[in-house]
A and B are shown apart, each in its own frame.
Chain A
Amino acid sequence: MNNSQLEMLVHYQDIDLMMKEAEEVEKTLGFHIEGCEKLQKAKDELEQNLKPRYLNIYKRLSTRYKRPIVPVQEDTCLGCFAKLPTYYTVRARDDKEMYTCENCGRILYWMS
C-alpha cells in the first residue's frame, strides 16, 4: 500500500473517531456541537483522494469495529492482541501493500 494512502486513511480515522465522540456528546448531553460540518467536509475531501478499494475496506471494517486501523506493537495487532507472523513484520517494512490482521481483519499500522 502506498504510504501516503495509509497516512491519509489514518487521518480519516482520526476525524471519524472525533466526529463519533462529538455525536455521543450530543446524544448524552443533548446539546449541538458546532464544527461537525467542517469535519465532514474534511472527510469528504480525503475520500476524494483515497483509492476506492482502500476506502471500501475501511468502511466495511468500520461496520464491525470502532477502530478499523490499529497500531502494531511488538509484532502484535492491538485490535485483537494476536501475535502476527514474523514474515508480516518483514514484509510490512516495504510499505507497498495494505496489511490486515489475519485474525481480526483490521488494517495494520506500523509505528516506525
Chain B
Amino acid sequence: MNKKTFISLFQENHYIVDLKGRTKEAILNELLEPLKQNHVVNNSDLLLETLKKRETLGSTGLGKEVAIPHCRSLAISELVIVVGRSGKGVDWNAIDKKSVRLLFLIVAPPQEKQNIYLPVLGKICEMIRINKIRKKLFKTDNYQDFVRIIEEAL
C-alpha cells in the first residue's frame, strides 16, 4: 500500500473534531454517524453490534490516549476510516487505563480487493507510536492539518 492510497482513506467528511459522547457505545454511534449520512454502511445497527462484540475480545484502546475500534463486517462494502477527537477524553478500558482522546474507526468487509485492512491497521499503529506526531494529532482541529501531519509521519 503506497502513501497516496493510505492518505486517500482519510476523508474530510469522516473527520469528527469534537466527539460529545461519554461512553464507549455513544462514541461508537457518533463515529458511525458519517457512514450513515453518506450511505456507506448497509446496516449501521449490525455494524455497531459487531464493533461492540469486538470490544468484548479485548479493548481496542492501545494506550497513550489512542483507540482503534475495528472490525470486519458484511454491513459495509469497502474499507473506511472515521477519525474522531474527544476533548475531554473517554474511558475506553485502555491497556494503560488512561482515557482516550483520539479514535480511528476502521471497518472493512470480510474480503476486499486490495486486502489492505491489516496493513492500514499496522500503519496507523506505527504512526501513533511517534510522540511528536501523536501530540500534533491531539492538538489539531481541522482536517487539512490532520492530513498534513499524517503525510509528514509517513
Which residues from chain A sit less than 8 Å from chain B, CB to CB?
A: 7, 10-11, 13-15, 17-18, 22, 33-36, 38-39, 42, 67, 69-71, 73, 78, 109, 111-112
Contacts and interface: CB of A to CB of B under 8 A. Distances in A.
B58 A18 contact: no
Contacts of A38: 53, 56
Contact of B111 (A11, A78, A112): A78
A35 B60 CA distance: 13
B72 A39 contact: no
Contacts of A70: 111
B111 A35 contact: no
Secondary structure at the B interface, as helix, strand, loop or mixed, is: loop
Most interface-central of A11, A17, A22 (chain B CB within 10 A)? A11
Interface residues of B, number: 19
Interface string B42-79: 11001001100110111000000000000111110100
A38 B55 CA distance: 11
B53 A18 contact: yes
Given A18-B71, A73-B77, A112 B42 contact: yes
A14 B57 contact: no
16 contacts: A7-B46, A11-B46, A11-B50, A13-B74, A14-B53, A14-B73, A14-B74, A15-B50, A17-B72, A18-B53, A18-B71, A18-B72, A22-B57, A34-B57, A38-B56, A109-B74
Contacts of B111: 67, 70, 78
A70 B73 CA distance: 11
B46 A34 contact: no
A22 B56 CA distance: 12
B109 interface: yes
B34 interface: no
A76 B53 CA distance: 30
Nearest to A22: B57
B110 interface: yes
4 nearest A-B pairs in the assembled complex, by CB-CB distance: A35-B57, A35-B56, A38-B56, A14-B50
A18 B74 contact: no
A71 B112 CA distance: 11
A44 B72 CA distance: 20
Interface in B23-43: 42-43
Contact of A18 (B42, B43, B57, B109): B57
A8 to B, nearest CB: 9
